[in-house]
């Protein structure tokens, strides 16, 4: 809800999003059953008018196209950072990213080269601005670029960041839905959570974040390399995309532990 309020989204806007999602899911179910998902049938099953169904489907298609473009942009920048670390042309034998020149210089790799190889866009200056804003790179002496973070996380409240939010929340929900509804022949998707046994102070949070940003980050980078090494072997244009997501979270407790114990004793 904080993101919703920050963008001035109304309750009516949220209701419209849920109606669109409902129609899309209903349409997919009908296709699985071999039944046509006509406007008339969707309107009848969803309790909407035909005009509402047509409008919501057109709006959904437009948003899907926009989301695809935004996701493509995020993927391109993530691929650029991965290449900077893993491609031997832009990294040391130990996997450390090389400093890249902003202008062509004899014997030096340039930032424009990696932008072109990673397919991250046609304007290296715009790509550089995005990486700078996300805290992934630093510019030194206005001559070369140094990579300081392998992970691209957009900063500020902008469209790219909202797309990222929707993408990963949807991924988490899809994993939980799969595990709840899967048949006995389907594998269970990895789903684990770790939380403190009781309430702790902010100092624990800061210590835990430092630990995660070193230990877990190393594991994610190792997995990223393994992922890339296996991807070509299983390439299938008609297949699906698979991923792993890790995040730190905070639970706000409105009832303290003393009150919880008192309630438990009464029961």
Residue 121: which of 82, 75, 167 has the closest Cα? Answer: 75
Q: What SS3 class is residue 9?
A: coil
**Helices 124-133, 111-118: crossing angle, 10 deg rounding:** 90
What's the pTM value of the predicted model, to 2 decimals? 0.47
Q: What is the DSSP letter of 234?
A: G
Q: Where are the domains of the chain?
A: 1-48, 159-266
Residue 239: which of 228, 231, 249, 247 has the closest Cα? Answer: 231
Instruction: Write out the H or E segment, with its range, that includes residue 59.
Output: helix 50-86
Q: Are residues 20 and 54 in contact, defined by beta-carbon separation less than 8 angstroms? A: no
Q: Are residues 137 and 128 in contact, defined by beta-carbon separation less than 8 angstroms? A: yes
Residue 234: its pLDDT value, please? 93
Q: Are residues 157 and 68 in contact, defined by beta-carbon separation less than 8 angstroms? A: no
Confidence of residue 111 (pLDDT cuts 50, 70, 90): very high
Q: What is the DSSP letter of 25?
A: H
Mean pLDDT (whole number) for 43-49: 86
Confidence of residue 228 (pLDDT cuts 50, 70, 90): confident
């Amino acid at each position: 809800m904080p993101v919703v309020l920050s963008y001035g989204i109304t309750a009516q806007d949220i209701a419209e999003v849920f109606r669109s999602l409902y129609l899309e899911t209903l349409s997919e179910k009908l296709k699985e059953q071999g039944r046509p998902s006509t406007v008339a049938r969707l309107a009848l099953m969803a309790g909407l008018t035909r005009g509402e169904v047509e409008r919501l489907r057109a709006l959904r298609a437009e948003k899907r196209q926009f989301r695809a473009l935004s996701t493509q942009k995020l993927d391109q920048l993530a691929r650029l950072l991965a290449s900077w670390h893993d491609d031997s042309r832009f990294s040391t034998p130990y996997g450390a990213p090389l400093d890249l020149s902003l202008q062509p210089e004899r014997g030096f790799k340039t930032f424009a080269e990696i932008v072109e190889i990673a397919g991250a866009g046609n304007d290296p200056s715009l790509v550089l601005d995005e990486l700078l804003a996300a805290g992934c790179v630093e510019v030194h002496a206005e001559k070369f670029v140094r990579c300081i973070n392998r992970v691209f996380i957009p900063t500020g409240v902008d469209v790219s960041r909202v797309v990222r939010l929707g993408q990963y929340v949807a991924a988490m929900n899809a994993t939980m839905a799969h595990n709840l509804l899967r048949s006995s022949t389907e594998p269970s998707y990895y789903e684990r959570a770790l939380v403190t046994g009781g309430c702790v102070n902010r100092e624990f949070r800061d210590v835990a974040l430092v630990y995660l940003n070193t230990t877990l980050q190393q594991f994610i980078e190792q997995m990223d390399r393994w992922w890339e090494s296996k991807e070509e072997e299983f390439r299938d244009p008609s297949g699906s995309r698979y991923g792993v997501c890790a995040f730190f979270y905070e639970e706000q407790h409105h009832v303290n532990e003393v009150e919880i114990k008192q309630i438990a004793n009464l029961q």
